[in-house]
Chain A
Amino acid sequence: MNNRTFVYGLWCLGVAGLFIMSTVYAWSPFAQGSRARTHGGFYGPTHK
């Protein structure tokens, strides 16, 4: 195995690792919504 193959193998492992992490945390850079950072008050109780 030459250096290029080894480095590319590591690269693929890194990409696969990031993909798995993004799946574990159900994260995407393109998700429209996320945790509200500026919400000040309480909604509750909101359930019927």
Chain B
Amino acid sequence: MPEPEDPNKQIVEQLRQQFEKLTVELKPEMEPAVVYTLEEE
């Protein structure tokens, strides 16, 4: 009998499908959000 599929993998695949549709809209020049800012020493 084949092993049942890992439910976590299923959840991530579902999320991935939704997410990959969004990344189609990304243009090369679009940069990541800047989360951290440099602080002056």
Q: Do A and B bind each other?
A: no
Which B residues are within 8 Å of any A CB, using their own CB?
Answer: none
Which A residues are within 8 Å of any B CB, using their own CB?
Answer: none
